[in-house]
Amino acid sequence: MIRLEAALDGEGILVGYQAEGHAGAGPKGADIVCAAVSALSRALVGALQGREGVRVNADAQERGKLRVKLSYSGDARVFLEGAGAVLLAGLASVAEDYPEFCNLTITRK
């Protein structure tokens, strides 16, 4: 089971994201749930790293574990709002389609 946790600030902007575990929906290298979560997670970090006004602190030192903390300033809020919305829509779709392999929790800070 992949456990996904997303944290939003008071304005609904993504400020934290964590993915932990293994889906077990298929053999290594052919697990569609793992592939979907990995692709969405990598796309988020890749899109935000180096973006002016967005600070990304990502840690993936262990297999099956990713932690991302985000902060923003100024006009970067709009970009982060959009990037976070795409990530959450994608993860929600995966969790809805494969509830036995993936769980998404969203909290507001």
Q: Count Cβ atoms within 10 A of the Cβ of residue 107 and give its class: 0-12 exposed, 13-18 middle, 19 or more buried.
A: exposed
Q: Per-residue pLDDT for 29 more than 90?
A: no
Task: Report CA-CA distances (Å) from 71 to 4, 31, 77.
Answer: 19, 32, 9
Phi-psi region of 64 (alpha: psi -120 to 50; beta: other; left: phi over 0): left
Place of tokens 């796309």: 43
Q: Per-residue pLDDT for 17 more than 90?
A: yes
Domain made up of 2-108: CATH architecture: 2-Layer Sandwich (3.30)
Domain layout of the chain by residue ranges: 2-108
* Tens digit of each residue's pLDDT (9 = 90 or more) over 48-101: 999 999 999 999 988 889 999 999 999 999 999 999 999 999 999 999 999 999
Residue 97: predicted pLDDT: 98
Average pLDDT, the chain: 95
Contact between 5 and 73 under an 8 Å Cβ cutoff? The reply is: no
**Alpha-carbon gap, residue 93 to 70, rounded angstroms:** 23
Q: Per-residue pLDDT for 109 more than 90?
A: no
